A and B are shown apart, each in its own frame.
Chain A
């Protein structure tokens, strides 16, 4: 499960680029978000969280 801090996101696109499942995109509002239809594709690999320079996206373990 992904948790977004939208106010921190600057839309740099690093998360979307490195996401191995193509789950993320940068919206018209210049914010990171889950692509339509990709809601269940996240494998919680943590690439986005590790690479985000703005602490704007975190991976929450299911049930946590």
Chain B
């Protein structure tokens, strides 16, 4: 197994470090964990595509040595979907932020989940639009400050995994940038899952979320993740009162009863070609 230093040397494109993320931003931890997961799953660089949308987290695609695309705000999933249809053998990993994925790209999220197409979606949830300077997203909790909510947010936030589950996602998991081994583990499981998988990663944006909401130093944001993320097994045993303000981490749901979309489409091809034979017979 490669050391972390070797992983960075092996998977980062030359001269891409230091990256552009702010001091204490969790995105680097998520990307590092993703490299660990890809390496642990023994995926060849040529067999991996990393498609991102727009936002801080979406810059990750340019740093690493795979087939990569930094596309449009909200559109990472459709572009990933088209690529997966063209090349089902590729491991297509889609990187998106909370705004990218649940606001401007929200429609694509529910339909990718519904189709059960074999993409691994990693949502970097930092509760804010970081790149544009701290506006609230659909995943910003209620009662928080943002530059577009100077008097506190009044909109309830999505539970993006519950949303994805309701839309039909066959694998949902959550981790945080504090819980790195769990993060690597759920990324590996998500990559291995044949259908659509979504992994929400709770990550800190000290510059644009932490500062406005007076959370303090970057490490304090990680400390908060440690105190509020609860392993699924423990979560299941907690009562409503104990769950208040906390969130479950680990694999939250997994189903294997639904066929992966490109495999289902292979059957369409078989039926269509059989119909041609009938017509010409």
B222→A51 contact, CB < 8 A: yes
Between A and B, how many residue pairs show CB distances below 8 Å? 66
Q: Contact partner of A54 among B18, B178, B219, B223, CB < 8 A?
A: B18
A13→B5 contact, CB < 8 A: no
Is A22 close to B, CB under 8 A?
no
Q: Contact partner of A10 among B24, B29, B222, CB < 8 A?
A: B24
Is B132 close to A, CB under 8 A?
no
B27→A53 contact, CB < 8 A: yes
What is the CB-to-nearest-CB distance from A33 to chain B, in angstroms, rounded to a whole number? 15
| Interface residues in B211-265 (C-beta closer than 8 Å to A) | 217-219, 222-223
Chain A CB within 10 A, most for which of B19, B23, B25: B23
Chain B CB within 10 A, most for which of A7, A17, A55: A55
| Complex-state Cα separation, A5 to B5, whole angstroms | 10
Q: Contact partner of B18 among A7, A14, A16, A51, CB < 8 A?
A: A7
Q: Contact partner of A13 among B17, B21, B29, B219, CB < 8 A?
A: B219
Is B78 close to A, CB under 8 A?
no
Q: Interface residues of B, CB < 8 Å — how many?
A: 26
Q: Contact partner of B217 among A13, A49, A52, CB < 8 A?
A: A13
A10→B219 contact, CB < 8 A: no
A13→B4 contact, CB < 8 A: no
| Complex-state Cα separation, A12 to B218, whole angstroms | 7
Nearest residue (CB) in A for B180 is A50
| Interface residues in A1-43 (C-beta closer than 8 Å to B) | 3, 5, 7-8, 10-14, 16-18
Nearest residue (CB) in A for B206 is A12
A17→B217 contact, CB < 8 A: yes
Nearest residue (CB) in A for B26 is A53
What is the CB-to-nearest-CB distance from B184 to chain A, in angstroms, rounded to a whole number? 10
What is the CB-to-nearest-CB distance from A26 to chain B, in angstroms, rounded to a whole number? 10
Known: A7-B18, A53-B26. A14 touches B219 (CB 8 A): yes
B4→A55 contact, CB < 8 A: yes
| Complex-state Cα separation, A16 to B196, whole angstroms | 38
| Complex-state Cα separation, A46 to B60, whole angstroms | 24
What is the CB-to-nearest-CB distance from B105 to chain A, in angstroms, rounded to a whole number? 25
What is the CB-to-nearest-CB distance from B202 to chain A, in angstroms, rounded to a whole number? 14
Is B42 close to A, CB under 8 A?
no
Q: Contact partner of B222 among A7, A8, A14, CB < 8 A?
A: A14
Known: A12-B23, A13-B217. A3 touches B5 (CB 8 A): yes
| Complex-state Cα separation, A10 to B206, whole angstroms | 13
What 0/1 pattern do residues 165 to 200 of B give for CB contact below 8 A with A?
A: 000000000000110100000000000000000000
Binding site for B on A (CB under 8 A): 3, 5, 7-8, 10-14, 16-18, 49-56, 58
Binding site for A on B (CB under 8 A): 3-5, 8, 17-19, 21-29, 32, 177-178, 180, 206, 217-219, 222-223
Taking A50-B4, A55-B32 as given, write out 5 further A-B residue pairs in contact, using a Cβ cutoff of 8 Å, ordered by the A residue number: A13-B217, A18-B222, A51-B177, A53-B32, A54-B17
